[in-house]
């Protein structure tokens, strides 16, 4: 089967790209697993905080806001609360400056989250400019748009070989052989693996494990209105989810690409950092899991044609910003591939281009 665009990866990067590219030509998405968003996209904290990340990431995230707000029920209010203890003043000051959070009193913070420990929490900052993302609704919306324009989205299509042909690419998968003019690498943790299979120089995209635990609502509180809480320096975070709390040690441990699982010791250390800041102990876990957040060496997304193989397009290195940047990232990808004038600035395009790695 031959198409205009072959997309490897069925997470948020690949599915959002499929929606955009489906307006430009024929599209096939090849997802290795039995369902879309099986890996990092299915294990995300799912927060839209447009000031989070380095400057190019923030620009992409802010440019995605109009798309999110144009669709019903994608965003819902959450808010953000950053907490510090004694000795963390410098880190706290940097966090609230970068994320544009006004400081509030510990008493005001306890009025928002009553389990905060006033004997440990020394400073707090809070803002409303953070929203939950309905990640399933977002992915299904992009998938529906892609399919309505004739795109095929295939699961169980693990790639086993990639060959460069005169007229494009040939990809062998468990679901058959596919060929296309442009190959879009949206393979997440496997982005460098896909590049190597294609004979393209990898960029040093590194998967990093992040573990999470779901715990019962502390002390039987209604947590639905609580903000997402961060220990300053992102030493841990906690976020309400379906009547419970998700708590993460916020670790970044380099890993080879694989179907990740949580490390018990890392989880225990992270839960201890969270417990120190609150009055309610963690008595049991409902569940735990982990995902791989993949970063380029400079921690900025990679969006653009490969410097040496222009029919090989990178859409990778999303790190923890994949969902919140996906509308603008996928639109930029389509603009670059379609040779249209992008809305993104020239500086942003250069900052995201794989050409920056030489």
- Which has the closest alpha carbon to 217: 239, 250, 236, 235? 239
pLDDT of res. 42: 73
For 244-270, give the DSSP string: EEEEE----EE--SS-----HHHHHHH
- Which has the closest alpha carbon to 89: 119, 124, 117? 124
Let me know: does 352 contact 302? Beta carbons within 8 Å. yes
pLDDT of res. 95: 94
Let me know: does 74 contact 67? Beta carbons within 8 Å. no
Q: Model's pTM, two decimal places?
A: 0.96
Q: Which CATH class is domain 80-127+206-295?
A: alpha beta
- Copy the structure tokens of residue 192: 């460098």
Cα end-to-end span (Å), the chain: 34
Residue 295: strand pairing partners: 206
Q: State CA 5 to chain mean position distance.
A: 23
User: Does domain 2-47+134-204+297-357 bear CATH number 3.30.465.10?
Assistant: no
Residue carrying structure tokens 């992915």: 139
Residue-wise pLDDT for 251-290, tens only, equals 999 999 999 999 999 999 999 999 999 999 999 999 999 9
Residue spans of the domains in the chain: they are 2-47+134-204+297-357, 80-127+206-295
pLDDT of res. 41: 75
Residue-wise pLDDT for 106-161, tens only, equals 999 999 999 999 999 999 999 999 999 999 999 999 999 999 999 999 999 999 99
Residue 207: strand pairing partners: 294
Let me know: does 347 contact 296? Beta carbons within 8 Å. no
Rounded Cα–Cα distance for residues 120 and 103 (Å): 17
pLDDT of res. 186: 98
- Which has the closest alpha carbon to 242: 267, 217, 279, 210? 217
- Per-residue DSSP letter, 308: S
Q: Element (H or E) spanning 147, and its range? A: helix 135-148
pLDDT of res. 136: 94
For 272, residues 6+ apart whose C-beta sits below 8 A from its C-beta are: none
Do the domains 80-127+206-295 and 2-47+134-204+297-357 match in fold?
no
pLDDT of res. 183: 98
Rounded Cα–Cα distance for residues 261 and 337 (Å): 36
For 272-302, give the DSSP string: HHHHHTBSS-----SEEEEEEEEE-TTSS-E
Residues with pLDDT less than 70, the chain: none
Phi, psi (deg, nearest 5) at residue 136 = -65, -45
């Amino acid at each position: 089967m031959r198409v205009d665009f072959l997309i490897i990866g069925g997470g948020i990067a690949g599915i959002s790209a499929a929606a955009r590219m489906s307006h430009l030509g024929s599209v096939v998405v090849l997802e290795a697993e039995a369902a879309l968003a099986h890996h990092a996209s299915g294990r995300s904290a799912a927060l839209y905080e447009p000031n989070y990340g380095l400057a190019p990431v923030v620009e992409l995230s802010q440019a995605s806001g109009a798309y999110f707000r144009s669709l019903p029920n994608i965003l819902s209010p959450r808010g953000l609360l950053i907490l510090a203890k004694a000795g963390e003043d410098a880190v706290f000051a940097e966090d609230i400056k970068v994320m544009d959070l006004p400081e509030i009193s510990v008493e005001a913070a306890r009025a928002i989250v009553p389990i905060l420990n006033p004997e440990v929490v020394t400073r707090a900052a809070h803002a409303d400019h953070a929203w939950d993302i309905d990640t399933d609704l977002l992915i299904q919306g992009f998938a529906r748009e892609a399919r309505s324009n004739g795109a095929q989205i295939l699961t169980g299509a693990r790639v086993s070989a990639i060959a460069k042909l005169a007229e494009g690419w040939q990809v062998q998968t468990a679901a058959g052989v596919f060929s296309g003019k442009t190959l879009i690498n949206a393979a997440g943790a496997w982005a460098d693996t896909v590049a190597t299979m294609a004979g393209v120089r990898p960029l040093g995209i590194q998967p990093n494990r992040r573990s999470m635990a779901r715990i019962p609502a502390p002390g039987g509180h209604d947590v639905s209105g609580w903000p997402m809480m961060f220990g300053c320096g992102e030493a841990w975070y906690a976020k309400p989810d379906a009547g419970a709390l998700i708590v993460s040690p916020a670790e970044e441990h380099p890993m080879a690409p694989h179907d990740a699982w949580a490390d018990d010791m890392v989880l225990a250390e992270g839960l201890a950092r969270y417990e120190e800041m609150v009055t309610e102990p963690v008595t049991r876990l409902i569940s735990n899991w982990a995902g791989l957040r993949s970063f380029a060496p400079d921690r900025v997304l990679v969006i653009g044609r490969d410097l040496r193989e222009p029919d090989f397009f990178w859409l990778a290195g999303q790190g923890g910003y994949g969902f919140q940047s996906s509308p603008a990232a996928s639109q930029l990808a389509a603009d670059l591939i379609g040779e249209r004038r992008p809305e993104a600035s020239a500086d942003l395009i250069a900052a995201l281009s794989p050409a920056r790695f030489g």
